[in-house]
Amino acid sequence: MIRLEQVTKIFPGASHPAVDRLDLEVPDGKTCVLIGPSGCGKTTTMRIVNRLIEPNSGRIVVDGEDVTRADPVQLRRRIGYVIQQVGLFPHMTIADNVATVPQLLGWPAERTKARVAEMLSLVGLEPAQFLARYPRHLSGGQRQRVGVARALAADPPVLLMDEPFGAVDPIVRASLQAELAAILQRLAKTVIFVTHDIDEAIRMGDLIAIMKDGHLVQCATPERLLSAPADSFVADFVGADRALKRLALTTAGEAASPGDAPPGSPVVDRSTSLRDVLSLLLASGADTVIVRGAGIVTLAAIRARAAAKS
């Protein structure tokens, strides 16, 4: 668990705090996305957790330990960190980049070697093809995968991610988001994820924390945030298409019900989001889709879900 208690940060010469008496709790194994306008304090908040930025006051508790009293170097070695620019060492092979923290922690060579191969496989990079390469030989998406592998190599309980996919193209970004979400769910890491993209926040977060002027305005599940924004600022920030965004949170398999579909109806997988089902129905002119192994979803049922209040 990560807990921030009344955390404040005032940079020298600033007229107001970058982070102002912030309380935030991220449960074990959950991903909390920090989002808000530029300058709202989201990146400062994340960097306070591993003390790349020192708070002026307040407590930071990680796994029950007040880390404001911990050695910051040792703290950072047990917190994974992924940034937009990736930060791979250009003169080191991919194998050596991923091995950085295990080597700093004094892991035996064979254990480190096995862990590097395991992490590359986890992020979809075949070890035999990538171990000996250098970062300059990789695409932007591949470098980002290596960055995630490096952050996970020492099996840290906590992971911090600062706009990790901001530098890759939209198609690669969507693929990386889906793969990372599956990895984090499987590994049960506790994650703070910073983004400026509300669609990414909805896709990645178990919780979304919206900040403004150093304050936490609302922290809630994506469903709750979209269905019951705390105020007009949150409503405007998440957008007027909140109902459509909510459809992205439900799969066709979850919404399917027994029934018969007209001949020629489109067919989708259970994992297809209702937002994508709606797009398919509108493009095809059909009013029903068949969900493989689950039943059917109708246009009327999607409309009812979009209009429902939680």
Helix axes 299-307, 274-284, angle to 10 degrees: 130
Q: Which residue has the tokens 């003169």?
A: 91
Give the closest residue to 59 by CA, choosing from 90, 28, 25: 25
- The band of 247, judged by pLDDT with boundaries at 50, 70 and 90, is confident
Stretch 27-46: mean pLDDT? 94
Question: Above 90 in pLDDT, residue 275?
Answer: no
Q: pLDDT tens digit string along 222-241?
A: 988 988 899 999 999 988 78
Stretch 177-204: mean pLDDT? 89
Average pLDDT taken over every residue of the chain: 90
Stretch 255-277: mean pLDDT? 91
Geometric angle at alpha carbon 181, from 179 and 193, rounded to 5°: 120
* φ/ψ of residue 116, rounded to 5: -60, -50
Q: What is the pLDDT of residue 309?
A: 59
Question: Above 80 in pLDDT, residue 200?
Answer: yes
Largest CA distance in the chain: 69
Stretch 68-94: mean pLDDT? 87
Write down the pTM of the prediction: 0.84
Q: What is the pLDDT of residue 52?
A: 93
Which amino acid is located at 269 in the chain? D
Q: Which residues pair with 304 in a beta bridge?
A: none
Q: What is the pLDDT of residue 83?
A: 82
Q: What is the pLDDT of residue 304?
A: 85
Helices (H), the chain: 42-49, 72-77, 94-98, 100-104, 109-122, 127-130, 140-152, 170-187, 198-204, 222-227, 232-238, 242-247, 252-255, 274-284, 299-307
| Residue 111 CB-density burial (10 A; 0-12 exposed, 13-18 middle, 19+ buried) | exposed
Which amino acid is located at 17 in the chain? P
Share of the chain above pLDDT 90, in %: 58
| Residue 130 CB-density burial (10 A; 0-12 exposed, 13-18 middle, 19+ buried) | buried
Q: What is the pLDDT of residue 282?
A: 87
* φ/ψ of residue 33, rounded to 5: -95, 125
- The band of 175, judged by pLDDT with boundaries at 50, 70 and 90, is confident
- The band of 59, judged by pLDDT with boundaries at 50, 70 and 90, is very high
Question: Above 90 in pLDDT, residue 213?
Answer: yes
Question: Above 60 in pLDDT, residue 268?
Answer: yes
Q: Coil, strand, or helix at residue 212? A: strand
Cα four-point dihedral sign 34, 180, 283, 306? negative
User: Which of 64-78, 97-111, 154-168: highest mean pLDDT?
Assistant: 97-111
Question: Above 90 in pLDDT, residue 41?
Answer: yes
Stretch 169-186: mean pLDDT? 83
Q: Rounding to the nearest 10 degrees, give the CA dihedral for residues 210, 211, 217, 219.
A: 40
Q: pLDDT tens digit string along 112-146?
A: 999 999 999 999 899 999 999 999 999 888 888 89
